[in-house]
Structure 1
Amino acid sequence: MIRRAVPVGIGHYLPERVVPNSHFEGFLDTTDEWIRARSGIERRHFAAEGETTSQMATQAARQALDMAGLEPDDIDAIVVATSTPDLTFPSAATMVQSALGMTRGFAYDVQAVCAGFVYGLAQADALIVSGQANRVMVIGAETFSRIMDWTDRGTCVLFGDGAGALLLEAMESSGETSDRGILATDLHSDGTYRDLLYVDGGVSTQTTGHLRMQGKEVFRHAVEKLAATAEAALAKAKLAHDDITWVVPHQANIRIIQATAKKLGTPMEQVVTTVADHGNTSAASIPLALSIAVQDGRIKQGDIIVTEAIGGGLAWGAVVLRW
């Protein structure tokens, strides 16, 4: 028998403000049609003034706890994947811990940009499998609207804000592919590509900075690396393409999602897409999409799910799990 990290609760939060593509037509040389054609995005949510990453993360975590029928002190750890924390320190995760009223355990942030939630899942899996924790809340939460350059039509129309949370619990399993929970993880990074996607500011430069991206190069790397990491995770899990029930990818761009699915040989009918409604919410995009697909009944217990993401770093990876 082995320990597996099994999903027992999921939730998400989106800010009230919905921003359609038409919003950008008033101050940028762009149109709704141009944005849709290049990204598949139709609208996104922006955080309200004073609304923070940790606040959104807390709302998502509460939903996940409610679904699991658990209390905050039933959790051993909180891992928040974010590139847009409220403060330089303390971590957003400790703020969530406090807001939930969780008086025990530990909490910390993971920063791998859009790949952050996949990295967070891998961390949670390691904590549970090693016996360091029995229940771990993994949250992806971002307020990317705070780091946009509103004069750059190539980036500012792509991103949105939101949060998603997945609660994992240790369960004794047989060690077979029929087990529920995380079956395999696969992580990578290559800092030589850091100039393809980055923020041109930070604490040590005493600036906030704005997001900068070389879109065509990111697209090229994304399709190749996402397909490869998904293949690697499937191989580690001893599963084949035909075993996949759902692919829940990072929601960056519909063309990247379509091209990656084609490389994997997965029909789009088996791919969960929320990019049209949310835009790119970075580390929040996978848990947001997962939560919505669970809520609407698409994802059911026993389904094999492949998640994959790539972000600044470059950092990328994939997780295979049975719901």
Structure 2
Amino acid sequence: MNLYRSVRTVAGASGPDAIDWESAADAARAGTDPGSLDLSEAERQGYARDVREARAAVRSVSGVDFEVPDAVEIQNRHHWIDANVETFERVMGTLEPHTDDFPGIARTINTGTMTILLAYLGRNVLGQYDPLLLADSPDADHALYFVHPNICAAADALEVDRERFRRWIAFHEVTHAAEFGAAPWLSTHLEDRMEDGIATLSTGRFDREAFRDLDAAMTVVEGYAELLMDHAFDDEYADLRRKLDERRQGRGPLQRTFRRLLGLGLKQRQYERGKHFFERVVAVRDLETASLVWEGPAYLPTHDELDSPGLWLRRVDR
């Protein structure tokens, strides 16, 4: 880790765009310890086994025939930064045409902000199912990542068994693969809502409805994943979730503020709200009824229906 190099790289940000993406990635790597990828053969086989068994279990409980990506990547923190800087650039790229004459100081500030974001997430992301939103090719493969140094560090900090913790992360990410497998239209729906929202931001307006729709869809994604976890994971995991939440809440005020600025608090709210919605739907009906959300965009619950599942059931239940 070289903080001096990181600062120097940000200070040298250049180019015509709002963010110098190459400098942001270089600086994030310079300011982040990559972590060890010195895995034993048993650990490598463990990742493959966890994903394979998670796929079988989730298929069994969901009734969805889906595949996980052919290449399941075990990454260090630098690998994650490299893989995701392209995603951020694709998403933020819709803003670029409106910034043809961008002041150098503003570019430096934006590049520094992106550097901090990439470095923070690179040190904290455990696993990721990436549907490659806004990819150049509509046929781009999805991706499944595990950031091994972060999984080991989190398991040790939480004082839980590494293998059990790793398996829990694998099951959670595979549930996301099942969602996108059940709903081939989901990627396009999320892309459209994201592009609508960002496009209006670039003109100085805020499309509240687009972001509400995006938030509702992501709440369904997070909540349904937890529903499948409840049925598919072959061990108790309430203690893992509780310890992880307590660790996040127990961080210092600066880290908590940073999590809020990054929207990570929003993700927690989406998980809780979505989980509550699906628990109530299953209690009244069953898992098959809950899976109607993947029939098409019209079947997604609205914001009001997320808080009143009965309204959604009356609208869509057959």
TM range (shorter): 0.3 to 0.5
* Bigger strand share: 1
* Bigger helix share: 2
The structure having more radius of gyration, on CA atoms, is 2
Return the structure number with greater relative CO, CA threshold 8 A, min gap 6: 1
Q: TM-score, normalization: structure 2?
A: 0.33
Q: TM-score, normalization: structure 1?
A: 0.32
